[in-house]
Structure formats: C-alpha cells, structure tokens
Structure 1
Amino acid sequence: MTIFTVRKFFAAAVVAVCLPFAPHMASAAPAANLPDFTDLVDKVGPAVVNIRTTARVPTSQRGLPPGLDDGDMSEFFRRFFGIPLPQGPQGPQGQIPRGAPDTSPPDGGNDTEQNSGVGSGFILSADGYVMTNAHVVDDADSIYVTLTDKREFKAKLIGVDDRTDVAVVKINASNLPVVTIGDSNKVRVGEWVVAIGSPFGLENTVTAGIVSAKGRDTGDYLPFIQTDVAVNPGNSGGPLINMDGEVIGINSQIYSRTGGFMGISFAIPIDEAMRVADQLKTSGKVVRGRIAVAIGEVTKDVADSLGLPKAQGAMVSSVEPGGPAEKAGIQPGDIILKFGGLPVEAATDLPRMVGDTKPGTKTTVTVWRKGQTRDLSITVAEMQADKAAKDGQKKAPEPKPRASNALGLAVSDIPADQQNAQKLHGGVQVDAVEGPAARAGLQRGDIIMRVGDVDITSAKQFEEVTSKLDPQKMVAVLVRRGDNTQFVPLRPRTPGQK
C-alpha cells in the first residue's frame, strides 16, 4: 500500500501602515463552530452491531481468505493502525481459544466453522430484529451478532432482498437499545452525517462527512444517497445517521479503484429499506408489482424528434405478450410519462414505482404516442422470475439490389409467417444500410416500425414517407431489434449526399 502525505504550506504577508494602532483590529475573527458528534454517538452507538458470518469448510482450508495470510494481515494492522490483528472468536488463523466452545461437527467430520465475512447492522426493535445488507449475510451457514456490551448471539435469518440489498435477522434477546428511523426524503445535500460500523472488523468505528448528492443512480434498483463519509469493507449494513441521531440510510457501497475508500460512498435510503424490512418481517419475502415491459432512457435527441417538451419518462422497448402492459394497450415506442398519476422523470423511476404497487391494483398509465398523451388503464401483476428469451427469429433474406432512400435504408416487406412468429403488426425489414442509418448504428435485419408519427405497413409506403422528409429536421425512427424496440433519431440526407 502506498501512503501519500499531504503537506500544507502557509505564507504570511505583513503590510506596514503609518496609522495609529486601531484597538478593534486586535481581536481575531471568531472561529467557525465545528459539529460535535459525541452526544449523537452516545445515543446511537449502542444500537449498532457487528455481524460476523461463518461457513463450513474443510479443516485443511481453515484460516484467512485465499490470497491473505496471517503474517500479511498482522503487518498491515501493525503498520497502519498500530494494533495487532483483531482476534475473532476463533482467534488468529481460525484457532479456537482455550475455554471457547468447539464448533467442529458433532459427528467428528473434517469440516469446521470458519469466519467467512464481517459487516455491520443496527437494531430495529427491542425484541431483536436487526437490519443489514443482503450481501453481508449471503451464503452464510451461521450468522453471529455482537453488541457493544460484547454479548454475542447466533442470529436467525428472517429474509433477504437482493434487489435492494436489504436483509433482516433476528436474535433472541429483549430490552435492546434501538435506533430512531428518520425520513430520507428530507435529506439535504451538504448536511453533516455520521457512519458507525466495523470497517476491517474494527467494531464501533465512527466516521463523519457530508451528503454529496441525492438520488444517485448507479444502475441498481434504488437511488442512493452519496456521501464523502469514510466507508470501508466491514461498514456494509451499518447506519448513516443525521445530526438529530436518526438513521437515514444503510451504508452499502463505495466507489473505489483500490478496494478501499476513495471519497465516494453510497447509502440505501432508509424509507425504501424500511418498506422492504416490513415485508421481510411479515412474510420473509418481498412482493413486487410488474407490468411486463422493457424500457430505456429518453434522450434529448429522442425527445426533440418526438415533440416532447423535455427529455423525461421511460421509453417502452418491448412488451411481453399477454402481460399487463399489452392488455392495457401499451405499445413499443410509447413513452411512459406518468404511472398512477405520478410523473416518471427518468426511466429508472418506473421500476421502483411499479414494484412498490401491490399486485392486483388497477391504476392509470399516461403515455406519449404520436405527438399526444393517452391515459391507459392497467392492472399490475406480481413480479415473477425472469424468463429466458426465446430465439424464434428467422434469418433476414439476402439484400435486394435497390437504391437507398433519404435515411440510407433499403427495406422489404416482411413475410406473413415471420410477422406471426414475431407477433408483428406491420413494419418493414432492413436489407441494407448506409449513410445516416449506418452512422446511427442500424443493421441489416432490423425492423422499421414507425417513421415520425406514421406507422409503417409496407416497403412501398416506407419509400413514400421517406421521400417527403425534411433534411433540416430530425426524425424519430422506431426500430425493433430482436425483442427490443427503441427510437433512433436520424437526419435525412439531401439528394446526392452520403
């Protein structure tokens, strides 16, 4: 590990003046008051726990994880923390301390219980419900929860939800200290926050920083709270706390190129986490709604070409046959602007809005289609396991020799049997690509479903429509490739232009 030392240099400038000394200049400017976290830590700290997971492994594999040995880790902790390697309940290298219970199998087998992971959590209720991250307890044979008073309990896994990375475990205890749950919707960028957890197994470590951003989309199911609070391996599952001592998030991820903290960490908003936890406590699983569509982002170019006032909503790229969306009349190429009366600002908003809707609920979806909005009634279904995509497509026929049009496309009619197999209603097949279409990434075998607001039904009609396009205006072409459909903005070329 390389340690970079930052040195600060201070330069002082002295200006002499020939005026009498002014008394008011003698008083120094008052120093800004820095936050004091001591009372906050005293209040919340007892409800933060260390979570240790174990797995059964052959005796020959006991010890530290692959790639690490006791000497390396001892040297790491000695040099950079000034302390010896933390001793787990089984001691260094998995050895069982004298007087500790032997966790070897009762049948005298060759397997033993070895530490497989470490994380953090916090107590939700005085009767022993504890929240943590799903990835902290994944694949664990046993889960142990250690309180700040050093009591350790073997925990029962109540439920996990991988989609949100939330898990709930239960210990057999009573009158436990609990956290106060805050409102993550009231979090403000720039406010001070504190994390408490067990980085590298160092229990009850406190770090502080500020909220750097809200609603950060990292490609996961939930929008994250971004902070600059120091979070490292072992902090996962611990609470993110505001200055009122309320939990506003669960520390879950870091952005890192080295595996250690680099100034960016992410927390799951507590509002979303509590909705999941309530379902896990009730039924051990999370039930979510679905409407059976695949969606994509609406870019500015797509919005401009479709006449949308701004880039917003979720573009429907495909609709599952027989699903709720198809029954409601939603079509590929529609832009979903509202769900249940609430605006869909970005494509990532829709899965959360639908998922939070109880299956069986009848609601309204507002879509943008051909320059106008439409309200469609839809009944939300229950989310099922993902289905494998079916490859029932036929090869595209050999390209036919014909002149390309203003979009740089040579197209042909789609045989009736192929339309039936792909559940198509109209469209033409791309046989050759050049010019604007090639530059936009269109390929032979793509299906052109719509040009602007005109549904395409035949190759002849396609040629008529494209011959009237204005080279000065972008046009949105609805393209289907495989099971996905999306708008591709194209600028028609003038005659003779490549």
Structure 2
Amino acid sequence: MNIKIKPSTVCLAALLAVFVTVFSLPAAAESGFTGMQIQGMSEKIAKALGRKAADGVLVRDVALGGPADKAGIHLGDLIFKYVGKNIDSFQTMVKTAGSTRPGQEVEVSLVRQGKPMTLTMKLGKWTKPWRITDTAVASLPQYRLTMATLTQKLRKGLGLRWSSIGVVVTLVDPDRTDIGLRRGDLIVQVNQHDVWLPEQVVEQYKATKKAGRKDLLLLIERVNGFYFMLLPVK
C-alpha cells in the first residue's frame, strides 16, 4: 500500500519539531539558571524575520525577576551568541548553557527588532520552586479545598505559562461560590508570601487565624491574568 504525504504536512511536522524548550529543569551538574524559555529556529521562521540562515534561538518566555529579566532580555529576542559562542542551533545552545554555573556572568548577544545588542546576565541557582518534580497535596477541609504542587505535566494540562509558579487548586466545593476559588486556579501568593507547596498555604491560613485576622489575601493566576481575592478565615 502506498501512502502519500502532503508536502505541507511534512513542513508542519518539521516546524513543530523545533518547538522545544530548554532550562525547564536543572542539569545534573547544576548549570546556571537563566529564567528563560527558548525555542529553536526553522527556515520558515528565519525567512519571516528576513534572516538568511536558521541560526540562533528565540526567547519565548521570561520568568519575572529571574536572571534574564534582570539582564533586560525580552520575549521575541533572537539570541545568536551565548558565552562568546556562536549559537548555530538549538542543540548548541543547550550544550553551551549546560557548561555554565550559578553566579557566572555571561554575555548574551541578540537581535531585537533588527537591532543587534549584547547584554550581560548573571546566572542564578535553581531555587526550590523550579525543582518540583513530584506531586504533593494538602487541603483546607472547611472549604472542601484540595491543592497540589505545580508539576510540568499539570502546568501543560492547565495551559499555564512556563514561568508560572504557585499551588494549584485541584478540588473545591462547587457550592462555595462565596470564596471565589475554582478548580485550576493557581495560588501564587498568600498574604504577599510566595507559595509553591500546598502546605505553605495551610501554614499561612493557620498563622492568619492565630493572629485573629478574618481574611487571607490570595494572588491568583488564571489563563486570562492575575487577580487578588480574599479567603475568609473560619
């Protein structure tokens, strides 16, 4: 049996093949943390940008307050040189980044809107929120509220940004419309404290109750943005 594949299908498959990311998990040798997500180039993308070759990598996400953000790297920047090495492919970028160490200052040469520039970035360490690989669960029974750590699989399933950090609401009493939370919400902060483990939310709740305050201030991330809301303390 002969199977015919349309050329457009092949092109699409090739294009999707380069939509891969790096820096989502620390390397075994503890490479420096950049706080950015990148994407490989393709010939079609290069042509769209008016470039002759499909070299370099594109920045597709930047973690707020991370090394890349502090260095002034923006979404859409095209990195063509990293630590003095020409980046001719996605694989070269991965290998080069893997040889760096926390605290190291690296030069990043890039093109932004057709203008070349070089920035200096001080690499960070892989902090605990970025090291989460296993699921941990905690609950607030009075709301029939269950929360879980944000793993890569859960982040993808909920359509959250790569740079999102927080605790996921996995179950909430549908009749408790007064508390405002819903399944899939990402709790980013509790009373201005960053959280990434469910138990941290529970601890903040207990501390607030002990202090005699009536509400918790939550910062919630949803697909369409961030929201502050109050959770009554019982």
Using structure 1 for the length normalisation, give the TM-score: 0.22
Q: Flag the structure with higher helix content.
A: 2
Task: Kindly name which structure, 1 or 2, has the bigger radius of gyration based on alpha carbons.
Answer: 1
Using structure 2 for the length normalisation, give the TM-score: 0.45
Q: Which has the higher contact order (CA 8 A, sep 6+)?
A: 2
